[in-house]
């Protein structure tokens, strides 16, 4: 039996696999400690970057996929890159050469345009907003 301990918003902060058929003692322990949890018959642990708890339904479900995209994944160096369909309130981080070059917390729109260097470079945009799975978009600036 899989136990997913979760926060109020459904984020799984601990997952335990119990192989004992008698789960009552473990249920009692979690209840005594005040943990919010759901149980599921799953073959293995489920990674929280892909799974969450639907608190109302009291079940484990897959996190929704974010539909953010780039207007173009290959662009001319020295122009602007454009990200589209970003959920309102998402955090956007732009990386290049292994470093953060721009960070926008709680975007107030659904698009983000940013300038790219005048030399060829690869950019990675990481967009995060609960409960969506993190979205990674690659953009390559070419000469």
Q: What is the model's pLDDT at position 100?
A: 98
Tens-place pLDDT, residues 88-137: 999 999 999 989 999 999 999 999 999 999 999 999 999 999 999 999 99
Residue 23: pLDDT band (50, 70, 90) is very high
Question: What is the pLDDT at residue 14?
Answer: 95
pTM: 0.87
User: Is the pLDDT at 57 greater than 90, yes or no?
Assistant: yes
Per-residue model confidence (pLDDT) at position 43: 86
Q: Strand, helix or coil at 25? A: helix
Please give the structure tokens belonging to residue 53: 């708890």
| Interatomic CA distance for residues 24 and 20, integer angstroms | 10
- In which residue are the tokens 């990386």 written? 95
Report the pLDDT averaged over residues 7-13. 97
Q: What is the pLDDT of residue 134?
A: 98
Fold adopted by 69-142 = Immunoglobulin-like (2.60.40)
pLDDT on residue 21: 81
Whole-Å CA distances, 22 to 15, 44, 87: 18, 18, 43
Kindly report, as residue ranges, where domains of CATH 2.60.40.1930 are found in the chain: 69-142
Per residue in 75-90, pLDDT tens? 999 999 999 999 999 9
**Strand ranges in the chain using DSSP code E only, listed in sequence order:** 2-6, 12-17, 37-40, 51-54, 59-62, 69-70, 74-76, 80-84, 91-96, 99-104, 112-115, 121-128, 135-142
């Amino acid at each position: 039996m899989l136990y997913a301990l979760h926060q109020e918003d459904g984020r799984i902060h601990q997952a335990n696999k119990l192989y004992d058929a008698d789960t009552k003692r473990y249920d009692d322990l979690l209840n005594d400690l005040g943990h919010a949890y759901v149980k599921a018959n799953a073959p293995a642990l489920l990674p929280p970057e892909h799974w969450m708890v639907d608190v109302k339904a009291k079940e484990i479900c897959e996190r929704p996929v974010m539909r953010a995209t780039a207007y173009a994944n290959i662009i001319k160096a020295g122009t602007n890159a454009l990200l589209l369909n970003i959920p309102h309130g998402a955090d956007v981080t732009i990386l290049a050469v292994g470093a953060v070059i721009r960070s926008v917390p709680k975007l107030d729109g659904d698009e983000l345009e940013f300038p790219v260097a005048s030399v060829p470079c690869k950019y990675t945009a990481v967009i995060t907003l609960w409960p969506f799975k993190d979205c990674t978009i690659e953009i390559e600036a070419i000469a």
